[in-house]
Structure 1
Amino acid sequence: MMRQSFNDDEVSLFDAQEDGTRSRKKKIKHPVASFFHLFFRVSAILVYLLCEYLSNSFIACMVTIILLLSCDFWTVKNVTGRLMVGLRWWNQIDDDGKSHWVFESRKDTGKQSSSDAESRIFWLGLIICPVIWVIFAFTTLFSFGIKWLAVVIMGIVLQGANLYGYIRCKVGTRSNLKNMATSYFGRQFLKQAMTKEEET
């Protein structure tokens, strides 16, 4: 597995929270990409929720939802990730026939940097929608709507794959993710120890 960068710097997961010194524009630079980043995923959720009212045909609803999920997967993976946050991921096969996953991030260079609004739209849409599909999976199981389980699993897989890919672009390899978690918990432990020491 490889990790590369477009330029020299990495794009932070939640840009607005991490770098207060950078001056970022509040306006959305790519309104069409921002719209389609949310359009397909929200449409799939709405069709799933309203399909009993929209059509009596289970097959028509299922095909519509899967088409919307597929369009969402392609759009997010190939267009909106690059434009909105400067991240991209893909699989390539080398000359030896080995498959490699490549995760890239672009450094912020004034002109190319994404706006806070776009970053928030991208990450909130990317995180919230798979969570909604997981909730749908539980409700499908508890309501014995087994025929919908394949559709819900498809939603989890397609949207979860994009979420996983972009998180890997952001934080790098699994070892980097583990180091990040370890350092975070280490800092929290040190903070608690220092406050207890100050209290005594």
Structure 2
Amino acid sequence: MDDDTIPFDEEDEARAGKLKHPYVTMFHLAFRVTAIVVYIFCGWFSKSFIASFVTVILLLSMDFWTVKNITGRLMVGLRWWNYVDDNGISHWVFESRKGAKQNRINPSEARIFWLALIISPILWGVFVLVALFGLKPKWLLLAFIALILNGANLYGYVKCKIGSNKNISSATSDFFKKQVIHNVTTMMAKSPPTGNFSQPTNII
């Protein structure tokens, strides 16, 4: 069977000032936003927990697949996946565009991608805490599943961004070290000279 997917490095160029992939961007937001809305308001429309559970899980599954396989590749030039080799060993692969190809990414789409990717797990984390302290085990299970699915995509794309062989904590530490060094260097460059100057003696 022929592969009809778009090659990883051959997406169309974006027009200046416009979203490069407006429909992809819409679907990047649609499933996860709808899942959150349904989770919050499903009690208003249905008393059946099973119906609400199935609806949210379906939305989360569609969101996970869409973000993992489509929106990350097209919006930010990143992708990750897992495969099992002939020896039964599982391998995780994290890819990102390099060099000039990275410049083809639309900044607006990249901001939307990362904001949605980060904010969504935070919200589900809040829902987990609310269900936990509210003693609602059924809703806790649903929110926890959502947190895992959203967190998996976030983790995968962060690994793509910082490099698959680099630990996230060490990358964060390196980032702050670079910022401190940069700030110190900037302050030293702006500091006034402290050289010795001859003082007038008022002696004629």
TM interval, shorter chain, is: 0.7 to 0.9
- 8 Å CA contact 2:77–2:102 kept in 1: the answer is no
State the AA in 1 paired with 2:31: F
Shift, 1:112, TM fit: 7.7
- State which of 165, 175, 178 in structure 2 corresponds to 1:184: 175
TM-score, length of structure 2 as denominator length:
0.78
Q: Given the alignment of the two structures, is residue 59 of structure 1 paired with residue 78 of structure 2, yes or no?
A: no
**What runs of 5+ residues in structure 1 fail to find an aligned partner?**
1-5, 8-23
**What runs of 5+ residues in structure 2 fail to find an aligned partner?**
1-7, 10-14, 195-204
Which protein shows a greater Rg? 2
Percentage identity across paired residues of the two chains: 52
Aligned 1:148-159 pairs, distance under 5 A: 148-159=139-150
TM-score, length of structure 1 as denominator length:
0.79
In structure 2, the partner of 1:125 is: 116
- Partners of 2:179 and 2:72 in 1: CA distance: 32
Shift, 1:183, TM fit: 2.7
- Partners of 1:76 and 1:93 in 2: CA distance: 22
- State which of 63, 73, 82 in structure 1 corresponds to 2:64: 73
Q: Structure 1 pair 97/108, CA: closer, same or farther in 2 (3 Å)?
A: same
- Partners of 1:30 and 1:101 in 2: CA distance: 27
Higher relative contact order (CA 8 A, sep 6+): 1
In structure 1, the partner of 2:37 is: 46
**Aligned-pair RMSD on alpha carbons?**
2.8
In structure 1, the partner of 2:23 is: 32
- State which of 141, 144, 169 in structure 1 corresponds to 2:135: 144
Shift, 1:52, TM fit: 0.7
- Partners of 2:104 and 2:43 in 1: CA distance: 43
- Partners of 2:184 and 2:159 in 1: CA distance: 30
Task: Deviation per CA, 1:122-180: give whole Å up to 9, x if none.
Answer: 11110000100000011111111221011001110000000000000110135354443
Number of aligned residue pairs: 180
Task: Deviation per CA, 1:87-124: give whole Å up to 9, x if none.
Answer: 11000122222111000012364698121111011111
Segments of 4+ moved more than 6 angstroms: none
In structure 2, the partner of 1:18 is: none
Task: Deviation per CA, 1:20-53: give whole Å up to 9, x if none.
Answer: xxxx933111111100000000000000000110
In structure 2, the partner of 1:13 is: none
